[in-house]
Structure 1
Amino acid sequence: MLKLNLILLLKIISFSYGLKEENVLQTEVFQVTINPSMFNWTYSNEQYTYEITLAGAPDLPSWLKYVYSNKHHSVFVYGVAPIGKKSVSLDVVALNRKTYETRVEQIKINIAEKLNPALYEVYLKINNINVEDMFDVERMEALKDIFRKELWKDSGTDLYVTYLNSALDIGARKPPNPTEEEGVVIRLGSQEAFSHEMIGLQEEVRPLWKMTLCPFKRTSVERYFRTAGFALDWCLFRLIGENNSAIGVNEKLSYQEPNDVLIDTISKDDIPKRDYFNDYLLATMVPIGINLILVCLVSFIICAKHDSLDERELTPPQEPGKYEGMSNEPLYAINSDMSLSPEPMLFSLTNSPTSTLGHGVHCRPSPPPYVRPKFKPEL
């Protein structure tokens, strides 16, 4: 609602308001280019931003998408016109980031019926390009020429693009490196039946359909696509016949407005409910049980150690007289030997003639006796 009011306000204050028309065909991909020249502005780097909505609505219908191209510095509005629609109008709001000038343009898309719609389609996923790259006429013609000249030669007169979308919109992962390409899915259709080369190529890659990740990087026709600069995901290669169905592909050529689609809703009671009681028990009882086991284990260790200390304290001490006779026997033997000695004074240090004990501090031993030297008679 806020976006709708903003668009109405911008229409009132806009400096220019014009009407441009585009003619498109049903079941065929079209693209509308929006650039600064559409608003009589000169190109100046990343100066302008754009907002595209359905006239009188806050957003685009499901069959219309738009993408900004940094390479071309333009916005591409693309999609496949639905059957039953005659025309749609788009409001394009442009903003100048430097001057904050706002301008509004309206684009009217006239939808015409395609006289010879495609009956057969080939479904491809290309990994090394983005959606905006497929709006390059030379690149698109290079892809078509592979089928016109090599694989599907009968489709040379009426081969056209029936579907184009980013790989991210069908569930592919966004590349981790922002500079890498996101990949695109594309369908090419024709009224001519598939050639033997196309049928043989599908049989070649059929075993890969059941794989989630595609390990297969080469096929017998890989050289045609590599030369033109296309890296295909062969696990998603499909051929769609007249009944608009194929294994692994459930999309159809015809499109419906979101308002015409009946959504089969379910009641609140039909929504499955989950019982969290088991989760609660698991989250509470398991930690409690582990803690109880640890408490019991620690208690057992403490009690066992306490019992060993009690046993050590209850052990009676050794009697001191038990080994008294053994330790004193050598001393008794020594005393008895000394008492039997015939000269007890030999064991006394004071009886020694050279001992100074008991004689006073100034007592000295007697000098040796004087001996007169003997001289020879000659002297």
Structure 2
Amino acid sequence: MCARTFTNFLIVYFAFISVLNVKGENVLVTEVFEIVINPSMFNWTYEGDPPDQFVYQPSLLDAPDLPSWINYVYSNKHHVGYLYGVPPEKEQHIILEIIALNRNTYETKRVVLPIYITQKRYPAKYEVQLKIDNLNVEDMFDVERMERLKDVFRKQLWKDSDEDLYVTFLASAIELGARLPLNPKEGEGVVLRLGSQSPLSMELQELQEEVKPLWKRVSCPRDYKRTTVERFFRDAGFVLDWCAFRLLDDNSSAMQHSQEKVENPSSLLEQKLPDNKWVGIARKDVPQRNYTHEFLVTILVPMFIMTLLAIILSLILCFHHEGIDDPLSEEFFDNLYHICTDYFSSKEMVHVPIGEMTQYATINRVTYTLRSLSNQRDFACLSPEMYAGVRSHTNSPTSTISRGVHCRPSPPPYVKPKFSAEF
């Protein structure tokens, strides 16, 4: 049993580490290259659904990623992968490693692909930059479509470039900052440059003068502006964004591919490392940041401002309240107190016997009479019997009659004494 398990382990191990040596690729500086990754590179054939059967992962040998000047894209339309880019002048050769996985059988294979970089004998001195809205990057790897685009220039706009016209730059518009289209079925857009040693023709210069007013826009909507040469590109199946149309010469900074790559921080890191080897950053080299100042500004300053505002608002309300004198409000709150006490007293009388409720009703009537009379400060109208009854009820602790009011009879009228003249 152990021997069989060990045998299976060896089979899987050797299947994983098996290396298929293929012939290296020769690429030229300043010219876009493409490398197709398909099952035939690994001696595989399709056994099921092509889009989901094979997965590829290219990278530098003994490194986690590709160089900055090499891009990888997988085409769901053609079911193959594409490696493309423009080699820099300082590179000589690199070695790529491609890992492939068969999802049906879970078989893994590895291919080591050397890439040899050589100088182009006659590099381009003049370029034309285009942005095509209705296509993706993988669509430009179709030889027939690319030839149709070149024919528009070789036969109509740039006839002198018939012998050495080639693609000097190719990138997805999304990678350069464009937005995805609203309709997923539409192309994402692709930006490319066609270069040649022949000088720019008068037709191209006139076309640039025609579209110059559109340069103030970052990107033109589709069908925003149709030029006089629009029919040539439409017939070939290309929808151009004329806001991105440019003519470049050998003195233009856009022609300097090496300078463009230096602006990328990842390429700067690669130039410092030998043989494009990726080296991890040490923990001591990681920059540290002190967040004390941010904490003080974020927490303490708002709390101080909130406390200061609360103190100011409290002082304003206190001083303003002391100066308020509203007799109507005072009378309202006094009456409100009596209403509440009467309400709770009536609640307590719900379970009182009938005899006590009758006595309470009599007391309540007398209390109401006293309140009305107390406002008038007149108790002379009360009979001695009524006054005695009220007096007896108001002495109770639960009485609602104001204790500050003293009921006393009115004094007799003052009569001037008569004095006799005779003593």
Change (3 A) 1:294 1:83: same
Matching residue's letter, 1:31: E
**1:61–1:258: 8 Å Cα contact kept in structure 2?**
no
In the TM superposition, residue 221 of structure 1 has moved relative to its aligned partner by 2.0
Matching residue's letter, 1:113: Q
Matching residue's letter, 2:83: V
> For the residues of structure 2 that align with 1:100 and 1:75, how far apart are their CA atoms?
19
1:252 to 250, 256, 259: 256
In the TM superposition, residue 34 of structure 1 has moved relative to its aligned partner by 0.8
State the percentage of identical aligned residues.
48
1:212-232 deviation line (CA, Å, top 9, x unaligned): 453543222222222222222
2:86 match: 80
1:236 to 231, 235, 244: 244
In the TM superposition, residue 170 of structure 1 has moved relative to its aligned partner by 1.5
> For the residues of structure 2 that align with 1:11 and 1:29, how far apart are their CA atoms?
36
Matching residue's letter, 2:154: R
The answer to whether 1:201 aligns with 2:207 is yes
**2:88–2:257: 8 Å Cα contact kept in structure 1?**
no
The answer to whether 1:14 aligns with 2:34 is no
In the TM superposition, residue 260 of structure 1 has moved relative to its aligned partner by 6.6
**2:122–2:197: 8 Å Cα contact kept in structure 1?**
yes
> For the residues of structure 2 that align with 1:297 and 1:221, how far apart are their CA atoms?
77
1:289 match: 309
2:376 to 308, 314, 318: 318
The answer to whether 1:35 aligns with 2:38 is yes
2:362 match: none
1:91 match: 97
In the TM superposition, residue 10 of structure 1 has moved relative to its aligned partner by 7.5
**Counterparts of 1:130-141 in structure 2 under 5 Å?**
130-141=136-147
1:192-249 deviation line (CA, Å, top 9, x unaligned): 111111112222222322334535432222222222222222222111112133xxxx
**Counterparts of 1:217-228 in structure 2 under 5 Å?**
217-228=225-236
Provide the TM-score with structure 2 as the length reference: 0.62
> For the residues of structure 1 that align with 2:304 and 2:181, how far apart are their CA atoms?
42
In the TM superposition, residue 287 of structure 1 has moved relative to its aligned partner by 8.8
Task: Tell me the secondary structure at the aligned position of residue 257 of structure 2.
Answer: coil
1:156 match: 162
Change (3 A) 1:260 1:13: closer
Change (3 A) 1:302 1:258: same
In the TM superposition, residue 176 of structure 1 has moved relative to its aligned partner by 5.1
> For the residues of structure 2 that align with 1:152 and 1:318, how far apart are their CA atoms?
114
Matching residue's letter, 1:135: F
Change (3 A) 1:268 1:58: closer
> For the residues of structure 2 that align with 1:139 and 1:188, how far apart are their CA atoms?
14
> For the residues of structure 1 that align with 2:148 and 2:314, how far apart are their CA atoms?
73
**1:20–1:106: 8 Å Cα contact kept in structure 2?**
no
In the TM superposition, residue 318 of structure 1 has moved relative to its aligned partner by 3.4
**2:59–2:97: 8 Å Cα contact kept in structure 1?**
yes
> For the residues of structure 1 that align with 2:99 and 2:187, how far apart are their CA atoms?
28
1:360 match: none
Q: Mean Cα displacement is larger for which, 9-18 or 178-187?
A: 9-18
**Counterparts of 1:363-374 in structure 2 under 5 Å?**
none
**Counterparts of 1:337-348 in structure 2 under 5 Å?**
none
> For the residues of structure 1 that align with 2:14 and 2:194, how far apart are their CA atoms?
39
1:150-180 deviation line (CA, Å, top 9, x unaligned): 2111111111000111112222223455444
1:122 to 115, 118, 128: 128
Change (3 A) 1:150 1:13: same
Matching residue's letter, 1:126: I
Provide the TM-score with structure 1 as the length reference: 0.68
> For the residues of structure 2 that align with 1:74 and 1:243, how far apart are their CA atoms?
38
In the TM superposition, residue 118 of structure 1 has moved relative to its aligned partner by 0.3
> For the residues of structure 1 that align with 2:151 and 2:313, how far apart are their CA atoms?
75
- CA RMSD across the alignment: 4.0
Q: Which runs of 5+ in 2 are unaligned?
A: 1-11, 274-285, 336-371, 382-423
> For the residues of structure 1 that align with 2:313 and 2:195, how far apart are their CA atoms?
71
